[in-house]
A and B are shown apart, each in its own frame.
Chain A
Amino acid sequence: MPEQKLTGAQIIIKALKDQGVDVIFGYPGGAVLPIYDALFQQNDLRHILVRHEQAAVHAAEGYARSTGKVGCVLVTSGPGATNAVTGLLDALCDSIPIVCLSGQVPTHLIGNDAFQEADTTGITRPCTKHNYLVKDVNNLARTLHEAFYVAKTGRPGPVVVDLPKDVQFAEGTYVPPIEVKHKTYRPQVKPDMARIEEAVELIASAKRPIFYTGGGVVNSGTMASKLLTQFVKMTGFPITSTLMGLGAFPASDPQWLGMLGMHGTYEANLAMYNCDVMINIGARFDDRVTGKISAFAPNSKKIHVDIDPSSINKNVVVDIPVIGDCAHVLEDMIRIWKARQKRPDPAALKEWWTEIKGWQARNCLNYNHTETVIKPQYALERLRDALKGKDFYITTEVGQHQMWAAQFMPFDQPNRWMTSGGLGTMGYGLPAAIGCQIAHPDSIVVDISGEASFLMNMQEIGTAVQFRAPVKIFILNNQYMGMVRQWQELLHGSRYSQSYSEALPDFVKLAEAWGCAGLRATTVAEVDAVIEKMLSINDRPVIVDIAVDPKENCFPMIPGGKAHNEILLGPADNPSNATPEDGMVLV
């Protein structure tokens, strides 16, 4: 059979299909018209037309994080590509697998300041795991397959493939995806057994142990969460997780201490501070978690499981590094633990739990409920109760509402919680919710939002309406950039410079203008009914405006530059000396 020639655009479609892509989030333009033409002539690949390229990437992130698959994006050259940059960096910071195809001016015009030309590979180099510029149509298929391989293996991340328009028109040969054996890129998945054995011995000897788990468990896949749960149950140890790892271990389990870090629970942070053995599985010692490095778990031996060798000893020096994939490592640890018939020290563990229960008794997430004004925590508790037992996914924007969501929404499964952790991108939540809803059309998807963040990508309501994604946008409207206001209150003498949300739209009317449902609660009594109504609407998006206490602050809080044991539990803890001089410069 003679080799079949295809155009570059046809090769692209074929490669995406062969990679198992069923949805692509994108926005057209001159430099990708051949690809849009090829899309038009087929029915397998669904294209979701966003309203801004940043949102295309966030939507793909929501899709990817909720399915475990690679999210796929298509944007045009120049402004299309530059608009996507924030999304790409967001995906890089949170290790989300994305393949982003960008159009480029024809090869003979590259470098000539042609219309809508941007040095896309140059601009996105520090914002991606890797990127490619394809200049020869005969390298196209192989490069695309490689892009998917790089995006999803090892520590996942975004990959850009820049596609000059002439390459999209040119004819070439297609090659199917073979098992890629990359020349250079070969992440280590299987751990070194000697390390596993050392780790198991240390774990078994612990008197005050804690599991500190992270997004790497979610990245690794559902098997890793199962094995983590199994191992944690076998040991009886307490477990906490980062913002990115929520759901990998069931929040309903009594061994769960809640999130740790800057806005983590009192018990999780004190257990970290006082532990003697820390078992870090797939977390990266982020500064939001460690606080003051020199006072971070000062009397502990540390095990760190990570697939990326550059995560090891980057921020915190550890005793036993284990390089490998979480699922593989956990499987080996469990096997060795069983084979050696390990048992934790029951007396020590009992004492440790007694201490932890003492911290838990502080009830750190407590807030002053009132009948006169809706507390944001109250609204989330009601939402939590209304969602109990239902099939739901939560995304968030960035700010206080995000932290309250992390504190108050319990997740018993991985891939149910999508938030922008590393970059902290306001405007992430709505498009991520749309991407998630596209992947799970029959599930409930709620974007827990702040009024300021919502405005950053609210144009995506149009996308949600067009593609019948009945996402619920649950705005905790405090009329402030609350997180900014909170820092100004604590660190800048309550001078609320530019952090007041002026000239807000009427969110109910805004919803109606788009043909969505708009709901509002201004009193405590209205909250339940509004939530119930919101959950009953499944044929269009819903915007819910909850008027919450504008002055509520998010606690617990470890101020920048402080240690875990210097955690503030509420407004009564003297905030004036909350942050040391050298902590002021920290973000």
Chain B
Amino acid sequence: MEEKIEKHTIAVLVDNEPGVLARVIGLFSGRGYNIESLTVAEVDGGAHLSRITLVTSGTRQIVEQIKAQLSRLVPVHKVRDLTDNGPRVERELALIKVAGTGEKRIEALRLADIYKAEVVDATLTSFIFELTGATEHVDEFIALMSQLGMVETSRTGVLAMAKGPVGF
């Protein structure tokens, strides 16, 4: 019986203390779980809380294990599987540097307009585009730019939040 591999976006609220990220990452590497992306930043300075958003994949049983193992870490406040909890918003931010002149440069700018990417740096021979959107949107834009002189990309990985009035 082949078990289906599912992709899950999980939000984790943690105490922002030294070593907490190492605990989370060590858990994934030590137990052989996948991390497709992971982002972290403090979200409540006063309470020293950080929010980690991670995207992982595995069978249902593995995903449940991942959540149980995360919840077991002492500095973890809450774990929420956003994939399992109704509709959500997922966003990524990307910076994409494209170098070139002439027709390619014009085409890049035209596509940027269509994809609602903003120019945040320009020289006579290059642009840096800033793009926010769902992962697929960013992927598509990057695929196009790679044919138009893309020299560098930087992405945040996924940030996510459940829709509706209820907080984390």
Contacts and interface: CB of A to CB of B under 8 A. Distances in A.
A275 B134 CA distance: 51
Contacts of A309: 68, 71-72
A126 B68 contact: no
B64 A313 contact: yes
A509 interface: no
B76 A184 contact: yes
B142 to A, nearest CB: 35
Contacts of A312: 68
Contact of B74 (A184, A308, A317): A184
A133 interface: yes
Q: Which residue of A150, A184, A312 has the most chain B CB atoms within 10 A of its CB atom?
A: A184
B30 interface: yes
B23 interface: yes
Contacts of A129: 74
A310 B65 contact: yes
Interface in A127-181: 129-131, 133, 150
Interface string A298-312: 000000000011101
Given A133-B18, A184-B15, A125 B26 contact: yes
A129 B75 CA distance: 11
Interface string A308-338: 1110111001000000000000000000000
Contacts of A131: 19
Contacts of A310: 65, 68-69, 71-72
A183 interface: yes
B8 to A, nearest CB: 16
B23 A125 contact: yes
A312 B61 CA distance: 10
A129 B73 CA distance: 8
Nearest to B65: A314
Contact of A184 (B18, B22, B23, B75): B75
Nearest to A312: B68
Nearest to B18: A133
Contacts of A185: 74
Interface string B51-69: 0000000000100110011
A183 B77 contact: yes
Nearest to B14: A184
A255 interface: no
B74 A150 contact: yes
A193 B160 CA distance: 35
21 contacts: A121-B19, A122-B19, A125-B19, A125-B22, A125-B23, A126-B26, A133-B18, A150-B74, A184-B15, A184-B74, A184-B75, A184-B76, A309-B72, A310-B65, A310-B68, A310-B69, A310-B71, A310-B72, A313-B61, A313-B64, A313-B65
Interface of A: 121-122, 125-126, 129-131, 133, 150, 182-185, 308-310, 312-314, 317
